[in-house]
Amino acid sequence: MSDILELLENGSFSSLQAELRELNPVDLAHELEQMDRTKMMMLFRLMPKDQAAAVFSYLDSSLHQHIVETISAVEVRELIDAMFIDDAVDLLEELPSNMVRAIINNSSPETRRIINHFLKYPENSAGSLMTVEFVGLFETMTCREALALIRKSGVDKETIYTCYATDASRHLTGAVSLRSILLSPDDCTITQIMNSTVIYVHTSEDQEEVARKFKEYDLLAMPVVDNENRIVGIITIDDIVDVIEAENTEDIELMAALHPSESEYLKTSVWRLARNRILWLLVMMISATFTGSIIGHYEALLQNAVVLAIFIPMLMDTGGNCGSQASTLIIRGMAVGDIRLQDWSRVLLKELGVATLVAFALSLVNLLRITIFTGAGFRVDLVVTITLFITIIFAKLIGCCLPLFAKLCKFDPALMASPLITTVVDAFALIIYFSLASLMLP
């Protein structure tokens, strides 16, 4: 890679161009990001148009604005026209709006029409993910005709490996892989070899649902249709891999009581990171106050048996951990589609079984430990052990019920993860603990 900078400094532009053509656009984008901006712009301009467009779509978004501002209007137009439409739309969604207007006015009428169309779809919908660059075949074509069409038009298409068949009015009627076209006799018609049970989505469908279908059916591409069942675009697997990772990140962040953010950690400002965290922390701090007021209610009891305070952290932590284990498994099971709402009774029975086993094991270990090492007296030991047992059962059950309940109410189940459950379980554990203590201690 150091070759490139050397060639640039020596002014050997033709060998430089040959070298640039050979490199993978992802690696090249990484390199450009490290350079100073003058050198970066020189290299960017030396690349062949297609290579430049590919590299551009992998560059960090902070550089997009710089490049668009630096190059001429004609160059912007060439760049946008050479990019895949879905990448171009992503770019426009991140630039300031005055720049977007300038770019749209500068691009070719055809590209402009398509981009305008795309910008209408809501974010995270199938429409916003799709590209219009697919191969559409009429079902009456022969394989020979189809192959000729693909060879003629394929250069501009994001994927040519799955083609879609339509009737005369562009209603989706089937899918056919390039593989079948290649491997079938030349005069076979598309109708004969196409698969007429195509998996497709509507433009308005949520990207999470689109990703689910890709995973379930092991697809490489999926057609997107409008309300009249006419094909308007396709979604390709490379964009779905990004969607899957983004949805996972969102779930993980929600589960840790973070306001989900789409930007990279190191590129997010301290101010924004703090803002994403403070609201939930405040909510949970206030709710933990209620837990505290339970202790306040039993202040007299605690005054008489201050040893009870020693076991508060153990009861709170174990309850919280038991609850978050259960909720995590249920939330994840629902996210990957293993658990559906109608499975609630099986989940409940299963967690009841697990809770009983876990509660027995932990209570026993705890009883042995505190009778041997802590001199709190048999009655206190018994109160602690019974509380632990009941808390574990409660924590496991609430841990599996809350995510299911959230799903029923059409909330994201990931909201019902550890932090919320910990707060609920804490309060429950302390009420049981002090009630038992008032009853059983002299």
Which residues between 67 and 86 bind a copy of itself (CB under 8 A)?
A: none
Q: Does 216 bind a copy of itself (CB under 8 A)?
A: yes
Q: Is 289 exposed, middle or buried (0-12, 13-18, 19+ CB in 10 A)?
A: exposed
| CB nearer a copy of itself, residue 306 or residue 439 | 306
- What distance in Å separates the CA atoms of residue 345 and residue 329, rounded to the nearest whole number? 16
Q: Which stretch binds a copy of itself (CB under 8 A): 74-82, 122-130, 136-144, 300-308?
A: 300-308
Q: Does 368 bind a copy of itself (CB under 8 A)?
A: no
- What distance in Å separates the CA atoms of residue 234 and residue 203, rounded to the nearest whole number? 10
Each residue 252-281 as x (binds a copy of itself by CB under 8 A) or -, in order, gives: xx-xxxx-----xxx---xx-xx--xx-xx
Nearest distance, CB of residue 92 and a copy of itself, angstroms: 20
Q: Rule CB under 8 A: choose which of 31, 191, 333, 405 binds a copy of itself.
A: 333
Q: Does 307 bind a copy of itself (CB under 8 A)?
A: yes
Q: Rule CB under 8 A: choose which of 53, 80, 126, 160 binds a copy of itself.
A: 160
User: Could you write out the three-class secondary structure of 104-171?
Assistant: HHHCCHHHHHHHHHHHCCCCCEHHHHCECCCCEEECCCEHHHHHHHHHHHHHHCCCCCEEEEECCCCE
| CB nearer a copy of itself, residue 40 or residue 240 | 240
Encoded tokens for 140? 């009456």
| CB nearer a copy of itself, residue 79 or residue 135 | 135
- What distance in Å separates the CA atoms of residue 298 and residue 303, rounded to the nearest whole number? 9
Site for a copy of itself in 6-65 (CB under 8 A): 22-24, 26-27
How far, CA to CA in Å, does 35 sit from each of 4, 28, 58, 60? 11, 11, 15, 13
Q: Does 309 bind a copy of itself (CB under 8 A)?
A: yes
Nearest distance, CB of residue 277 and a copy of itself, angstroms: 5
Q: Does 226 bind a copy of itself (CB under 8 A)?
A: no
| CB nearer a copy of itself, residue 265 or residue 378 | 265
Site for a copy of itself in 411-440 (CB under 8 A): 418-419, 422-423, 426, 430
Q: Rule CB under 8 A: choose which of 73, 102, 119, 199 binds a copy of itself.
A: 199
Q: Rule CB under 8 A: choose which of 63, 71, 288, 441 binds a copy of itself.
A: 288
Q: Which amino acid is at 119?
A: L
- What distance in Å separates the CA atoms of residue 100 and residue 112, rounded to the nearest whole number? 11
How many residues at the interface with a copy of itself, by CB under 8 A?
A: 112
DSSP string computed for 19-52 = HHHHS-HHHHHHHHHHS-HHHHHHHHHHS-HHHH
- Cβ–Cβ under 8 Å, residues 193 and 112: no
- What distance in Å separates the CA atoms of residue 59 and residue 15, rounded to the nearest whole number? 23
